[in-house]
Amino acid sequence: MKIGDMDHGYQNTGRTHFGTNPQQLVTHSFCDRASPVSPVTNIGAYAPFVHHLKDDPNMNSLQRKAQVKLNTMPWFHGKISRDLAEDLLTPKENGLFLVRESTNYPGDYTLCVCYLGKVEHYRVKYKDNHLTIDDEEFFENLSQLVEHYQNDADGLCTQLIKCLPKKGKQEFCIDTKSFIDAGWVIQEHELQLNETIGKGEFGDVLLAMYRGEKVAVKMLKDSSVEAQKFLTEALLMTSLRHENLVELLGLVLNEKHLLLVTEYMGKGSLVEYLRSRGRLHVTKKDQINFANDTCSGMEYLEYRKVVHRDLAARNVLISEAGVAKVADFGLAREENYIVDAGKLPIKWTAPEALRQGLFSNKSDMWSFGVLLWEIYSFGRVPYSRIPLVDVVKHVEKGYRMEAPECCPPEIYEIMRQAWDLLPERRPTFKDVKIKLAQLKAVTIN
């Protein structure tokens, strides 16, 4: 067989790839970056939480589809240079290898393998929405490619014998077969797409009919960064089930697009609900119900050791029955996850998360305090008189928003506790849920 381009310092052609084949979209590494280099779904280190999720004793395996599983890729080193790869591959044992992102062809990869004291660099490129080295053998993802050459050199200088593991958090991959095998794929003919009802993080949100019921459909925009978040959200939602979390019904995967199908929340986002109805129509009972519902969903995430990272009234949806449910899990991670700040909602994010990139259920509690303020201010914008760039500085110096007009003192006390600069001094969602349940029981109108 003929081996194709070796990655030997070719000129950067400036090419980028965004394959529309979902098999391509849902594979590749979990690499946590603000701007992933690979334009083909680096579903980032969003993944490790899946392996750490605490079992839910309330979920009967017969009542749910299977959780989508991940495959580890210890040999994937991400964006490292050719020279660093050669330095890492020492001593240069025959068959020792790693995979890195191509520096000469953004979006492609390079397989680096030792043979006879040297390191050969093979370009792994996309062709016809698949990965290939030689234009003869094609693979859906990096894991399949590596496994093939571990079994047979098949034109390489040597068989892949021993991988050089990446230090620190390792990478993961997933493909559509995992969603199919777990029972999450919906056939497109089962959906009747209707009007657009909103604009989401990933693109349009449409109202649709599925098996006689109204559903919401998120349609993926043609952007790999959004594909990363889209599939991460879907992946996480396969493992979570609670009455105060928006439920995933399934995904549509075809060569045209990716669709995420969830239950339909007829009254829209909490923030718009509050703003559009105001004091005349939103009662104290409504407010405590929204707070209690949201806290209940977050208590469940806390129990499952999942951090939402983007909790705000805009990401809580209201059903036709008036039940509040937490939505938008695109940023959710495992507990105590460290990440670069990047594009974070500053007014809702805890100082330690913004400054040190440390997220936890305690940083979610900070966000919940801001969400409570939104509920009792009827959807006002937090810190409206402070420039965005100065919010963190003011907060760290001790500034706290005042209680909204007519806010019960017990609710404001929860806000103040949630906004403690020391994460360990903030209450748990379990503790707050108890207080809110007590307040709910005595709230009349």
Please give the CATH superfamily to which domain 182-263 belongs. Answer: Phosphorylase Kinase; domain 1 (3.30.200.20)
Written as six digits, the tokens of 93 are 């044992």
pLDDT in tens, 6-23: 443 323 322 222 233 333
The domain locations on the chain are: 76-163, 182-263, 268-334+342-443
How confident is the model over 336-381, as pLDDT tens digits?
544 445 567 999 999 999 999 899 999 999 999 999 999 999 999 9
* pLDDT value at residue 59: 44
| Catalytic member of 108, 310, 328, 364 | 310
Q: What is the CATH number of domain 76-163?
A: 3.30.505.10
Q: What is the pLDDT of residue 219?
A: 84
| Fold of the domain built from segment(s) 268-334+342-443 | Transferase(Phosphotransferase); domain 1 (1.10.510)
Q: What is the mean pLDDT of the chain?
A: 82
pLDDT given at position 31: 32
pLDDT at 225: 47
Q: Write down the pLDDT at residue 405.
A: 96
222 as an active site residue: the answer is no
Is 125 marked as a binding-site residue?
A: no
Dist. CA 372–CA 386, nearest whole Å: 19
Average pLDDT over residues 176-183: 78
pLDDT band at 158 (very low <50, low <70, confident <90, very high): very high
**For position 228, what pLDDT does the model report?**
53
Residue-level pLDDT at 22: 33
Total-model pTM: 0.71
Q: Would you say residue 2 has pLDDT above 50? A: no
The whole-number pLDDT of residue 25 equals 32
Residue 291: pLDDT over 80: yes
pLDDT in tens, 62-120: 345 887 766 678 999 988 999 999 999 999 999 999 999 998 888 889 999 999 999 99
